[in-house]
Structure 1
């Protein structure tokens, strides 16, 4: 993965601070190019940070921990789980 993303190895996350978006290694690996293109096109509000996972984390508090590690604790974390939004419905 590129486009300004860096790998946070100990978390196995691809992170882009400017876009305020992260992809788990599994999410990036397991989904098709269309899903990734759609996810990258999302305009994340300046107050938010979006995490894309293949599965819901056992404890979503991990997202706050990651934001603290990134020195971005003031952002609100949102979790997306391998879903593509299509006209109000969600599909893999």
Structure 2
């Protein structure tokens, strides 16, 4: 018997900037299980070098690059007990 491929979906467009941790959180779902993804401000600033590093600019950078970020998140998600993933700077662009 072969194991089914693990799937993650992103039906919730919510993303939240955490100023104290210098990152943006977004959520994916594997069936009913919620998985937290984190992308650092540094990564978003690299995706949007001509803008300020304030919250609205970082969230706008996330929104403009959402498809690429979510595509990457799908590649790193492996299922299993881990429920938090970090998008690393060298993995985008």
Q: Return the TM-score normalized by structure 2.
A: 0.43
Instruction: Return the structure number with greater relative CO, CA threshold 8 A, min gap 6.
Output: 2
Q: Return the TM-score normalized by structure 1.
A: 0.44
Judging by fraction of residues, say which structure has more strand. 1
Q: Greater Rg, structure 1 or structure 2?
A: 2
